[in-house]
Structure formats: structure tokens, C-alpha cells
Amino acid sequence: MIRTQQPRSLFFLLSVLLIILVPSCGPRQVEDRVEDLLRQMTLQEKIGQMIQVSKDGVRPGDVAEYFIGSILSPGGGSPINNSVEGWREMVAAFQDEALSTRLEIPLLYGVDAVHGHGNLLGATIFPHQIGLGATRNPELVRQIGQATAEEVLATGIHWNFAPVLAAAQDIRWGRTYEAYSEDPALVDQLGAAYLQGLQTLPEDYTPAEDQKIFVLATPKHFLGDGGTTWGTSETEGYHIDQGDMLLDELAVRNLFLQPYQTAVDLGAMSVMPSYSSWNGVKMHAQQYWLTDVLKEELGFGGLIISDYNALLQIDEDYYTAVVTGINAGVDMNMISSDFKGFISIMEKAVANGDISEDRIDDAVRRILTVKFMLGLFDRPYADPQSVDQVGSEEHRQLARQAVRESLVLLKNDQQVLPLDKNAALIHVAGMKADSIGVQSGGWTITWQGIMGNLQPGTTILEAIQESVSSDTRVEYSSKGSFESSAEYGVVVVGETPYAEGAGDKDELRLSESDIKVIQNARETSEYLIVVILSGRPLIISEQVQMADAWVAAWLPGTEGSGITDVLFGDYPFTGKLPFTWPRSNEQLPMNIHNLTENAQGCDAPLFPFGYGLGVAGSAPIEWIDCP
Ligand code: BGC
């Protein structure tokens, strides 16, 4: 009896144990894997995970020696061999080092692919966000997010510092073109679409183990980057970028918070704070906004990546700056080069009890979770599936569609547009008609952008030449000086490339040379069409009557054919202004939030928010002379 009972109770015990254990014997949950790693990590290894250094700020061996968790290419941070192969090799070399460390934690590489993989030669360059705002087309924006993710992944990169979720309130800001709109609702809608495009695993994609995110998006810059006041920036040469937002909390929430709530709800796992301040205190130092609001109230479970060297701006004393920023909620510090200084401060701060080990564990937990969600532990190198995607015909067609839909027809007297493909002679004027660099704007090849035609694509001049009949002659003059008269003249004017505070300008006008080109071309064209390439509305009240038609084309990127698709009438104009278009510089800042509904005559904008001919509800503007 006793002998038979014993095995029976043992059997029972084993069965109970099995029932308890079996459910957790399947693939281990990400949380368990993260905790498991965290338990094994030394303080040095944890601090290493909290570092992101610019690729030029490390020497070979540093990633392995200092357990650096992340590397970035900032604007212009391309390898010498600027090709898909060159990028893959560069990223793989860093990854090799990371994987050679004791715990083999993979490296996460980040880049600003803000309108396509802009630094990469041969990438598809999509319109900057302002142009996408004019399309009002979330499905298109989602597809652009996915196409960008594919091009970024092809180079072995899993992290994109985009989209910008600023609802820019003052077009004098040099980052206006990085914003979809001045309207938070439009920013919310298109930011969400882009994030989903970047992050959602495509149906035909085979994910790596644990992979939930295709390419990591980074809604930025939290919070109120587009709400600073002109003249408050303390950064040398800047006026409004990185400035101070002088608004009460309710206004800040109403204008800027919703797009972040949406992004978090849709699975955003990385957010970048703004360089700017709120009532005199840098956002990177605002525990209230970063931890209480973003992480706790909005429920953000991802990592906060600082902006480039932004912790340095918190306080003159770097120790104080680091302690403040990390305690405010920054999880990873983006550094140009002095990562060793950061390491020694972090070690000292932990020893002094100024930064708790819990805070460090929280940061590292967030970082490791993201790395698992990207499938990096399983597939740390470049995605073999997406090599051919860079600059592919499919992506270029998508970009071309985006250009078409982004065009806003401001004026079209006597229905001069669409142009006739069979016209005998068309004049094309202005150096900007023949410049991929100008039409792409900042964040292309270099941080500030370039003027020339380095990035492969189609200029507006080439697109016109390709669109017309074989009997049509196209004559080009950069100055707009032509010997004979033509039925049509197309002049391309606008801004030359800039990025960030370098583009802060209190006077937004066409340059004297652009005005001269319009004047010259006017003399020899029966009908004159002006295309403006710009990162924001420019003040054109004095020139608007010099031409029969005006088209706002924003910063369209590499696919100039999208412009001719619409100029020659193969597609209709459907774009609507994503920003209020002011009449004069004196009116600035002017937007839907500070404009009284009954602003009339010279107090009204030149073109209101949402305006665009060819679009229901937009009637041609009545021209009035204002002092
Ligand atoms: C910009 C960020 C960008 C970072 C890295 C900073 O200057 O403000 O938007 O992500 O550089 O390139």
C-alpha cells in the first residue's frame, strides 16, 4: 500500500508542477529576457546602453570597450563610400563590435531619414513634411513611411528620427518645412500615418524573433518646438529655433500634446525632446513634461533619446546638466563625441546618490525592450530582403505621386494652366529650375542641404523637357533672358537649402535675383507661370501680379516629374495650404490660432489656410493693393 501510494502522490505532484510550468516553457517573453539581461549587467554596461554617439565621435574599438549601445549618423553623416554597400559596411563594423562584448547586446543605429534616407546617394527623396501636409492624404503618407523604412533597413539601420510632430506657429522658424502644418489636427493625422508606415511590419515581410516594429519612429521634438517666440533663442545665430515657449500649460497642451498621445497609443517607442524651453527651462530638464506627462500620463513605455548634445544646454556645469536631464527622464544621451565625459559623470552621480540605480535600470529596461522589439537580438545586421529597395522605381513613383498631390495652385488667371504640351516654344527660367539640391532642401546629402545635382533624380527643367511633344522647343536660361518670345514661360524661384536655426528669418521674401528672373522672363513670355520652391510661404504680394499663374511646390525632393504631371494637366491640382499664407512680413506670426475670423482686406492673409485652386471651396483671390 505504502509503496503504491508514494509514486501516485509523486505523479500528482509532478502533474501539478507541469501544469504550472508548461505555459512559461514556450518562447520567453521579452520582459523576461530584458530582466534576465539587466540582472547580469554591470553599472558600466548599463551606462554604455544609455549612450548614443555620432559615428565620427568614436574610434575603432570604442563600442566594444565602452559597451556603447547606439551610434548615429547626424545630418550629412555618410560613410566615405556613400552607397548602400558603404552604409551596410559601416553599420556592420559597429555591430560586430557590439556583438563581441560579454553579453552580446546588439547596437541600435539611428539616422534622420526625414524625407527619405536623405544622406544616402541614390535614395528616393520625398517631399518634406510641409508638402505632405498639403496633400491631406494619410494613406500616401503611410506608404512613404513604409518606403522610407525599407530604404533605411537596406543600409542596416533600424531607427529613424522622424516624424516631426510640431504644429509650427511661426513661419519665420527655420524648421517650418519639417512640420506637416500649423494645424495640430493635421499634424496628428499625418504624423500617425507616417509612424504606422515606418513601424508596422509589412504583410510580405518575415520578421525576426521578437520583432514587433519594422523601423523605429521618433516623434519629435517634445514638446512645443513650433511654439517658441521670435527673439528668445540663445543659440548663436538663431532667433526662434531652440527658443522659449511663453505659453501657459493649457495652451501648450491644446496646441501640441494630442499628436504625441496618438503616437504613443499607436506604439511609438522612442521620443526626442525639444532643444527649446518652456517658460525659461529647457525641455530636456523638464521632469514634469518628460516623466509625469509623457511617460506616466500618456503611458509612453519607450525610450527618450536626447537631441544632439542637448543635455549640454541644460546647465553650464555638465555634471548638473547630466543629473538634471537623466532624472528628468532622458534615457539615452545623444552625444557628438565626449561620451567618456558622460560615463565618468554618470558613475560619479550614482556613487553620490544623485542618480539612482533604479532610474538607470528603468532607462536600460526601455532601451533593451526596444532592441528586442526591433528583432535586433535575432537579426542584428542589414535586412537581406530590402537591398533593392533604395531608389527603386516603385518608391520613385510614390514620391512622384506625393509631389503631384502636394502642389497648391495659388493663382491661375485666364486658366493659363494646364500648359499645352504641344506649344511651339516654352521658356524655362531660373537656376532653381535645374537643381535637385534646391528642390530637395535641407537634410539632403548634408545637414544644410546642397545646391547642385548630386542626388540622382529629375529636375523641373528635365521634367518639362520630358513632358512636351517632340515638336516643342524648350529653352532654358538661368537668368530668364531669352532672345525670342514664347507663348509660355515657366520661372522657378524660391529658397536655397537650409536646416534648423540657420533658416530662421524675420523677412520672408523672394531674393532680388529671383525677382529679376521673373521680370526678365515676363518680357518674353505671353503667359508666365511661377513655381515657388520653399520651405514655407514667402511674402509675394508685390510680385503676384507679375505672373498669370503661381504654384507652391514646397520642397518636393528628387521627383520633379510630379510637378509637370500637374502643370501639363495629366493630373489635377488637389493640394491645399497647410499653412496660412501672409500678405506681409508685418503680419508675422500669422496662423489660424491668432487670426481673427473677420480679418478683412489688408488684415487678412494673402491666401488662407486650406486654400488651393482646383479644390472645392477655394475661389480665386481678389487682388487688393495694401500699403
Ligand atoms: C536635430 C534633430 C536631429 C538630430 C540628429 C539635431 O540637430 O534637432 O532633429 O534628429 O540633430 O541629427
Ligand 1, residues 161, 176, 271, 309: which to mutate, most atoms within 8 A of Cβ? 161
Predicted confidence at residue 35, as pLDDT, reads: 98
Evaluate if residue 18 carries a pLDDT over 80.
no
Q: Which residues contact 77 (CB under 8 A, 6 or more apart)?
A: 54, 55, 56, 111, 119
For β-strands 270-273 and 220-222, DSSP reports them as: parallel
307 C-alpha to center of ligand 1: Å?
6
Q: State if residue 79 touches ligand 1 by the CB under 6 angstroms criterion.
A: no
For the CA of 334, the closest atom of ligand 1 is 5
**Backbone φ, ψ for residue 157 (5° rounding):** -110, 140
Q: What is the pLDDT of residues 91-144, one digit of tens each?
A: 999 999 999 999 999 999 999 999 999 999 999 999 999 999 999 999 999 999
Q: How far is the CA of 484 from the centre of ligand 1 (A)?
A: 48
Q: Give the pLDDT of residue 619.
A: 87
Residues in the chain: 627
pLDDT of residue 596: 84
Distance 506 CA to ligand 1 centre (A): 23
Ligand 1 within 6 A of 74 CB?
yes
Q: Which residue has the cell 517634445?
A: 222
Tell me whether the omega of the peptide bond preceding residue 223 falls within 30 degrees of 0, making it cis.
yes
DSSP 73-141: E-TT---SS-SHHHHHHHHHHHHHHHHTSTT-PPPEEEE--BTBSTTSTTPPPPPPHHHHHHHT-HHHH
Question: Residue 27's pLDDT band (boundaries 50, 70, 90)?
Answer: low
Across the beta sheet with 51-54, what order do the strands follow? 159-160, 108-111, 70-73, 51-54, 333-335
Question: Would strands 525-533 and 486-494 be described as parallel, antiparallel, or unpaired?
Answer: parallel
Predicted pLDDT of residue 545: 96
Range scoring the smallest mean pLDDT among 219-223, 372-376, 618-622:
618-622
Instruction: Indicate the helix (H) or strand (E) that contains 393.
Output: helix 393-406
Specify the DSSP element, H or E, that contains 429: strand 425-429
Tell which phi-psi region holds residue 619, choosing left (phi > 0), alpha (psi between -120 and 50) or beta.
beta
Give yes or no for residue 75 CB within 6 A of ligand 1: yes
- Residue 24's pLDDT is 43
Question: What is the pLDDT, as a whole number, of residue 21?
Answer: 46
Does ligand 1 come within 6 angstroms of the Cβ of 442?
A: no
Residues involved in catalysis: 307, 500
Task: Write the CB contacts of 145 (distance below 8 Å, at least 6 apart in sequence).
Answer: 163, 193, 194, 195, 196, 197, 198, 199, 217
Smallest CA-to-CA distance from 436 within 345, 559, 540 is with 559
Note the pLDDT of residue 10.
Answer: 53
119 alpha carbon to ligand 1 midpoint, in Å?
A: 13
Helical axes 357-373 vs 30-40, angle rounded to 10° = 130
Ligand 1 pocket residue status of 457, Cβ below 6 Å: no
Task: Please give the C-alpha separations between residue 256 and each of 221, 224, 227, 500, 593, in angstroms, as whole numbers.
Answer: 10, 6, 8, 19, 13
Read off the amino acid at residue 558. Answer: T
Distance 164 CA to ligand 1 centre (A): 10
Query: How far apart are the C-alpha atoms of 380 and 91, rounded to whole Å?
Result: 10
- Using an 8 Å Cβ cutoff, are 195 and 263 in contact? yes
Residue 350 and residue 358: Cα distance in Å, rounded?
10
What are the pLDDT digits (tens) for 290-343?
A: 999 999 999 999 999 999 999 999 999 999 999 999 999 999 999 999 999 999
Does the CB atom of residue 220 touch ligand 1 within 6 A? Answer: yes
What span, in angstroms and rounded, lies between the C-alpha atoms of 248 and 221? 18
pTM for the complete prediction? 0.95
C-alpha distances (whole Å) from 312 to each of 2, 35, 256, 319, 333 are 75, 31, 25, 9, 10
Specify the DSSP class assigned to residue 513: H
Distance of alpha carbon 376 from alpha carbon 211, whole angstroms:
8
Q: Name residues whose C-beta falls within 8 Å of residue 450's C-beta, 6 or more positions apart in sequence.
A: 437, 444, 497
**Residue of minimum CA distance from atom 11 in ligand 1:** 308
How far is residue 44's CA from residue 420's CA, in Å, rounded to a whole number?
Answer: 68
Closest residue by Cα to atom 5, ligand 1, is 74
Joined together, the cell numbers standing for residue 331 give: 534615457
Residue 221 CA: nearest ligand 1 atom is 9
Quote the cell numbers at residue 448.
544644410
Residue 7 has pLDDT above 60, yes or no: no
